[in-house]
Amino acid sequence: RAKKHLGQHFLTDENIANKIADSLTETGYDQVLEIGPGMGVLTKHILRKRKFKVTVMELDSESVKYLHEVFPVEHIKLDTSKENFNIIEGDFLKQDLNTIFQGKEIAIIGNFPYNISSQIVFKAIENRHIVPEFSGMFQKEVAQRIAEKKGSKAYGILSVLAQAFYDVEYLFTVPPTVFNPPPRVNSGVIRMIRKKDYTLPVDEKLFFRVVKTAFNQRRKMLRSSLKSMNLSVTLKEDPIFAMRPEQLSVQEFIELTDKIASHGDRNNERTS
Ligand code: SAM
């Protein structure tokens, strides 16, 4: 039986599972990490490619038991020898990916548990040096938030941070009817491919802070939402600070961070 607190909605449609597995570009890595394999519906299609070493990470011990005992027998034709298939029981959010994969590049994929989907994206972004590709299924609204461009209502922290390092593509929408139990909302599949140059020309920690602080008060002008960053008087007159965060492209957030780094914080003026 599906466990609600683990966001369990199992795919029942092989075609959709196949389509999600096919979202992998299969270039530039030879290891795939699937988050939340459940009963292995998607796993089967990833293994079928026979191209990758596949690691699955699952929190639910019952599913893990199934994957160990039933799955390899049911799918005996698939290459699930120890070398190519690895099951880790645990919470993805608590794993140290660098240590597990010894710094090797991995593509992350999954039909993600919706209750922690934003955290999964943030963790992938944090580990971007070993994650050249990230694709999978989210609640449609979250998928849109990751893929949207400036000016849209869904554009926010997730969009800016993901798109700063990845090219994001919204692939297709999936209706609730292909899950058991069906979720209440539509789902959306996205693919993120890491940019060739994924280091920013500004202090990355400051960039994250600027983006998060600005969107925490998304209705306000930057001049006021970024007050805590001790902006100098001259800097506050820059027209960019009369804008709201949803009006700024990723590139403009980078420029904003640069301006703050050179005129804000450290240049905290005493005259005001
Ligand atoms: N991949 C399967 C499918 O498509 O049928 C299951 C998808 S279901 C939406 C999400 C899966 O993630 C569940 O099997 C759930 O137990 C697992 N899960 C939930 N939280 C997790 C976590 N923190 N780390 C790893 N897996 C988790």
Confidence of residue 272 (pLDDT cuts 50, 70, 90): very low
Confidence of residue 74 (pLDDT cuts 50, 70, 90): low
Nearby residues of 190 by Cβ (< 8 Å), 6 or more positions away = 135, 136, 138, 143, 146, 147, 168, 169, 170, 171
CA torsion, points 241, 162, 8, 184, in degrees to nearest 10?
Answer: 50
CA of 9 to the centre of ligand 1 (A): 8
Q: What is the interface pTM, i.e. ipTM, of the complex?
A: 0.99
Nearby residues of 158 by Cβ (< 8 Å), 6 or more positions away = 118, 121, 122, 142, 145, 146
Each residue of 212-254: pLDDT tens digit? 999 999 999 999 999 998 888 888 899 999 999 999 999 999 9
CA of 3 to the centre of ligand 1 (A): 10
pTM equals 0.93
* Cα separations in angstroms, 17 against 81, 136, 189, 255: 22, 10, 11, 40
What residue's CA is closest to ligand 1, atom 22?
A: 91
pLDDT at 69 over 90: no
What residue's CA is closest to ligand 1, atom 10?
A: 113
Ligand 1, pocket-test mutation among 111, 118, 138, 179, most atoms within 8 A of CB:
111
Q: What is the pLDDT of residue 267?
A: 45
pLDDT at 269 over 60: no
- Cβ pair 178, 189 in contact under 8 A: no
Q: What is the pLDDT of residue 80?
A: 58
| Average pLDDT, integer, range 99-117 | 96
Each residue of 16-60: pLDDT tens digit? 999 999 999 999 999 999 999 999 999 999 988 878 999 999 999
